[in-house]
Amino acid sequence: MKILFANTEMMIVDRRRVAGLQKRTPATKRWPVVLVLAIAWPLLLACSEQAPPPVETVRAIRTFEVGDPAEGQKRRFSGVVEAADNSSISFEVAGNVHAVNVEVGQKVEKGQVLAVMDDRTFGMKMQAAQAAMGRAEVELNDARSELDRLRKAAEINPGAVSQRSLDQAETQFDSARKNLRYHNSQLDLTRRDLERTVLKAPFDGVVATRQVDPFQQVSLGQVIFELYAEGAMEAAISVPESEIDRVHLGLPAEIRFPALPDQVFNGTVSEISRVAGGANAFPVKAIVDSDNPRIRPGITAEVTLLLGENEDETAYLVPTGALLAGPDESNGFVFIFDPATSTVRKTAVAFDGVRESDVIVRSGLKTGDVIAVAGVSFLRDGQQVIRGNR
C-alpha cells in the first residue's frame, strides 16, 4: 500500500508539467496512467473503510402447544338439538278447554297456570260425592248407636238380648264403616279431578308447542303443550351398529351448529340406547356444555366423536402448517420452540396421514411441546425467534 501511495504522490505534479508532458507524449502511451489510477482508487477506499458485520434478523413465529394424545378415529354425525329436560303436558281428565293462558315460545314458571278446563261437571260430581259421604256418616252413627244400645241391654239383663241380634248389629256397624270409607275415597277422587281441570307447569321452562285452543274438547292424556327447560341442551344423533360398541357414556364430543358456524362447543355423551332404531342405528345423545341462548331445540347439530381406545392408535394432532417435508411421505420435521433461549430446534417426526386440518404425528413430540406453525420453510435449527400468538 505504501508503494501505491508513493506512486500516487508522484503522479500529482504541476499542471504545467502535465500539460507539457501531454504535448510531448502520444495519446496511445497515456492509457497506462489511467489504468493505474482506476485500480488504485478502489484499493485506497477499501483500506480506509472497513465493512460492518451483517445483522441477523430475529423472526417472529406463530406457535401451537401440543395437547394430550388423541386416540382412535374421528367420526362426525349429524343430528338435531333437544332439550335435556322436556315434558309433554296434558290434562289428566277429559273435558272441554275453557281457557289457554300461554303462547309458543313463552317462558313459564313452575306452578304457573297454562290452561283451564270447564269444571262445572266436575264440581257437580264432587257435590254428589259430598252428599253420599254425609249419608254414609249418618248410617254409621245409627249403626254405632244400635250396637251400643244392645250391648248395654245385654250387660243389664243377659237374657234380654240374643247373641244373634248382637252379631247382626256388629255386622251392620262394620258395613256402615266400610261404606263411609268408600264414599270418602270417592270424594277424594272427585276433588282431585276437579283440581286437574287446571293445568300447571311442572318446572320453569319455555313452551315449545301448543296443540289446543279454547272451547276444544280434549281426551284423557292428549298432549296439550311441549315444555322444555332452558339451559341444558342435548344433540341427538344416530350411531351405526358397526361403531356403537366404541361409544360409551362420558365420551368427549365436539359439537358444531350451522347456525353458529364460527364456534365449536364441547360436549359429553349422556345417553346410549340399547335398542336400534331406523337403519340399524342406535340413538345417542350428547349434552352440550354451553348455555348459549342461540342453541335451541330443533336446530341442526354436527357431533364429532373420537372412537376407539387402542393404544397402538395413539398420536398427536398438530396443524398441517407445522410440518416441514422430510425424506419420504411418512417422515418430516417440526421446529420446537425453546422458551429459555428463544430459539427453535429442528426435530424429526413420523406422521401418518391427515385428519381434517391436522397432521397425525406418531413420534417425535410430547405433550406440552410448543411448535412453530407458520413459515417453517424459512426457519433453521438454532435460529433466534420471537414467539407470537397461536
Q: What is the pLDDT of residues 303-315, one digit of tens each?
A: 998 776 544 455 7
**Is there a contact between 7 and 36 (Cβ–Cβ < 8 Å)?**
yes
Class of 120-195 per CATH? Answer: mainly alpha
- Structure confidence at residue 3 (pLDDT): 39
Same fold, 90-115+200-227 and 120-195: no
Residue 251, number of CB atoms within 10 A of its CB = 19
The model's confidence at residue 300, banded by pLDDT at 50, 70 and 90, is very high
The DSSP element (H or E) to which 121 belongs, if any, is helix 120-156
Cell output for 74: 374421528
Question: What's the helix, strand, coil split of the chain in %, to 5?
Answer: 30, 35, 30
User: How far is residue 184 CA from its own chain's centroid?
Assistant: 53
The CATH number, out of the four listed (3.40.50.11810, 2.40.50.100, 2.130.10.10, 3.40.50.300), of the domain defined by the range 90-115+200-227: 2.40.50.100
Q: State the pLDDT at residue 194.
A: 94
**Which of 251, 305, 259 has its CA nearest to residue 81?**
259
DSSP 213: -
The residues spanned by each domain of the chain are 2-48, 63-69+314-387, 73-84+228-312, 90-115+200-227, 120-195
CA angle in degrees (0–180, nearest 5) for 171-177-179: 100
CA 332, CA 328: separation in Å to the nearest integer?
8
Mean pLDDT of 74-85: 88
125-134, 146-155, 298-307, 361-370 — most confident range: 125-134
HSE-up (13 A, CA, CB side) for residue 25: 13
The answer to whether 273 and 281 are in contact (CB under 8 A) is no
**Mean pLDDT of the 366-382 span:** 88
Residue 45: half-sphere exposure toward Cβ, Cα within 13 Å: 6
Q: Pull the grid cell for residue 70.
A: 388423541
How far, in Å, CA of 205 to CA of 232, rounded? Answer: 11
Length of the chain: 390
pLDDT given for residue 235 in this prediction: 93
Q: Residue 43 has what pLDDT?
A: 55
Question: What is the CATH architecture of 63-69+314-387?
Answer: Beta Barrel (2.40)
Nearest to 137 by CA among 94, 107, 177, 166: 177
- What is the pLDDT, as a whole number, of residue 386? 86
pLDDT above 70: residue 287 = yes
Architecture of domain 73-84+228-312: Beta Barrel (2.40)
Report the relative pairing of strands 59-61 and 385-387 from DSSP bridges. Answer: parallel
pTM for this structure?
0.51
Band of the pLDDT at 14, cuts 50, 70, 90?
A: very low
Quote the pLDDT of residue 51: 53
